Amino acid sequence: MKHETISKEHRAFLQKSRKKTGIVNAVRLGLLLLLLGLWELVTALNWADPFLVSSPSRIAKTIASLYREGTLFYHIGITLSETLIGFFAAILSGVLIALLLWWSETLRRILEPYIVVLNALPKIALGPLIIIWCGTGSRAIVFMTILVTVILVILHMLSAFLSADEGKVLLLKSMGANKAHILAKLVIPSSLPAFVSMLKVAVGMSWIGSIMGEYIVSRAGLGYLIVYGGQVFKLDLVMAATVILCFLAALMYFLVALLEKKLVKNKES
Amino acid sequence: MKEILAFDNVRLTYHTRQGEVTALKELTFSLGEGEFAAMIGPSGCGKSTILSLAAGLIKPSAGSVTLGGSIGYMLQRDELFPWRTIEKNLYLPLEVQKKNTPARRARALELAEQYGLSGFLKSYPSQLSGGMRQRAALIRTLVMEPDILLLDEPFSALDYQTRLLVAADVSRIIRSEKKAALLITHDISEAISLADRILVLTARPARLLASHETDFLSSDPLKRREEPRFSGWFETLWKELDP
């Protein structure tokens, strides 16, 4: 819109709405600083035992010392690679399985109870099995990540594939389209928004999978630091690893959100 | 007149776990080349089933359906793909039928130009009005160069005023392209204003109750509505539908 065409009233509205966004952002940041400040204060004044609740400055020191020892990026790298490999493998296999289930109604009916049970099963119950099958290395953790994430991907994508508009299917069939045409022209493009929203959930699930896997078996990684820190009562280490996890998970989520903005131009009326 | 679509003693029975339903029984009618026919009947009498049969999407349980040309299907909603521009929507049938040649695409653009769509080619469907979208859907159907158009209540999703205008629009385009058309509708006045022949169906299982050749002076739906015989036709059909 050109600037001259904006009415006075509209300009006032825009100003007001921009002002509101500014206030929200400022309060958001202020709240974080306030909480961190309070945390620091109560521990500095010894109202709460810093040994038990840690403190922002101790967390910062712990991260700094991990960095100096050269292990910070080592642990981050281990967990990040396990999470990412598990994430992509789960997305790829999940989407492929969902496609197969979409293609064949019979297969879908046969496998439905298995998927329902697998979905309901707490995956951590399979921990011992996974250790025996995959050993105690990164492979077990990646496997756990895939297991936790893949069912969600399958269910989410299958329901998206199946909800392709009936009228449009009929239209394509009247043009002489076969199943492959319907898949390529309608089902896949119309499932794109569902795919991106599934990615957002899958990000969270794959972090759950990798950290859970590291809790069960690991000699390195952020999950390992948390478990180790808990065992030797180094709460600073537990908190530091948790803070780093928060950052990484948020970063990955924002990357997906960015992808969503690029991919999904909402053209549905 | 050469026949382009013929139903001969067609029966269609649906089977579900709950039982079976006979939608059509002993249905016989035919449509000639370039003829514009409308089919009316009580709601739920299986009108859409007839189009699916004509399009070959389902097979009759008994009897035969003979189609002497290619079909173009137009549905209640425009069913334009929201992630494609209007231009790309027009190319959709070409892509599916593997006829996506420069010549065919040029023909599609020519149709778009001829029927006032060229200004919207780069727009997305959501940027068009309901009437414009339905027109785009018709052009997409014509891109397939069908011999017969199957119209499944194509105006029923539009508001009343738009509906009259789009019906007139579509009728004009179909007549100028000299296509045969079979229009399914539950709107008696729509059937009278558009079609040259009106087929009346019974309640389920649907059979042919009557076939009327209309005798209007004009082929323009809006003008037909002003002709004195319009109300006469309306009354005749109203009585036939109401037992």
Cβ–Cβ gap A176/B96 under 8 Å? yes
Of the segments A145-159, A206-220, B42-56, B156-170, which one has the largest average pLDDT value?
Answer: A145-159
Is the pLDDT at A186 greater than 60, yes or no?
yes
pLDDT at residue A12 above 80?
A: yes
Query: Mean pLDDT over residues A243-254, rounded?
Result: 92
Question: Per-residue pLDDT for B2 more than 90?
Answer: no
* All residues at 6 or more sequence positions from B100 whose CB lies less than 8 Å from its CB, including other chains: B91, B94
Would you say residue B159 lies in a domain?
Answer: no
Confidence tier at A3 by pLDDT (50, 70, 90):
low
Look at domain A58-263 and name its CATH class: mainly alpha
Which of B81, B82, B97 is the closest to A175 by Cβ?
Answer: B97
Give B169's pLDDT tier (boundaries 50, 70, 90). confident
If one counts the domains in chain B, the total is: 1
Confirm or reject contact between B222 and chain A (CB < 8 A). Answer: no
Is there a domain that residue B199 lies in?
A: yes
* Shortest Cα–Cα distance, A165 to chain B (Å): 9
Strand order in the sheet with B197-201: B71-74, B148-152, B180-184, B36-40, B197-201, B208-213
Q: Does A168 reach chain B within 8 Å, measured CB to CB? A: yes
Q: Is the pLDDT of residue A266 over 60?
A: no
Query: Is B49 a member of any domain?
Result: yes
Query: What pLDDT was estimated at residue A269?
Result: 37
Whether chain A has a CB inside 8 Å of the CB on B146: the answer is no
- Which pLDDT value is given to residue B156? 84
Nearest to B135 by CA among B67, B202, B89, B199: B89
Rounded to a whole number, what is the distance in Å from the CA of A168 to chain B's nearest CA?
A: 6
Q: How many Cα atoms sit within 13 Å of B202 on the Cβ side? A: 14
**pLDDT on residue A162:** 95
Give a yes or no: residue B229 inside a domain: yes
A167 and chain B in contact, CB less than 8 A: yes
Query: Which CATH number fits the domain that encloses residue B48?
Result: 3.40.50.300
Q: Do B97 and A171 touch (CB under 8 A)?
A: no
Tell me what pLDDT residue B216 has.
Answer: 84
CB contact under 8 A, A172 and B75: no
Phi and psi at B10, nearest 5°, equal -85, 135
Strands laid side by side in the B19-32 sheet = B19-32, B3-16, B62-67
Has residue B122 been placed in a domain? no
Higher pLDDT, B116 or A248: A248
Q: What percent of chain A has pLDDT over 90?
A: 74
Is residue B81, in this structure, part of any structural domain at all?
A: no
The whole-number pLDDT of residue A4 equals 60
Q: Do the chains contact at B73 and A189, CB–CB below 8 Å?
A: no
Domain ranges of chain A: 3-48, 58-263
The single-letter DSSP state of residue B121 is T
Task: For residues A171-182, give the mean pLDDT.
Answer: 93
Contact B71 A174 (CB under 8 A): yes
Report whether pLDDT(B43) > 80: no
What is the pLDDT, as a whole number, of residue B19? Answer: 87
| pLDDT for A27 beyond 90 | yes
**A 203-232 → B contacts, CB under 8 A:** none
The partner residue sitting opposite A175, judged by closest CB among B76, B93, B126, is B93
Identify which has the larger pLDDT, B144 or A264. Answer: B144
pLDDT of residue A1: 44
Judged by a CB distance cut-off of 8 A, whether residue B96 touches chain A is yes
So what's the pLDDT on residue B242?
78
Average pLDDT for chain B:
89
Task: Check residue A265 and give its pLDDT.
Answer: 61
Residue A264 Cα distances to A92, A255, B90, B128, angstroms: 20, 14, 22, 20
Interface of B with A in 69-88 (CB under 8 A): 71-73, 75-77, 79, 81-83
Measured CA distances, B21 to A75, A120, A204 (Å)? 66, 39, 49
Please state, in angstroms and rounded to a whole number, the distance separating the CA atoms of residues A103 and A96.
11
Is B176 within a domain? no
Answer whether A212's CB lies under 8 Å from A124's CB: yes
Residue A268: predicted pLDDT = 45
pLDDT at position A267 over 50? no
CB A269 within 8 A of CB B125: yes
Length of chain A equals: 269
Per-residue pLDDT tens digits for B91-113 = 999 999 988 999 999 999 998 99
Q: Who has greater pLDDT, A38 or A137?
A: A38
Domain boundaries, position B201: 1-69+188-243
A192 lies within 8 A of chain B by CB:
yes
**Across B199-211, average pLDDT:** 87
Asked whether residue A23 carries a pLDDT value surpassing 90, the answer given is yes
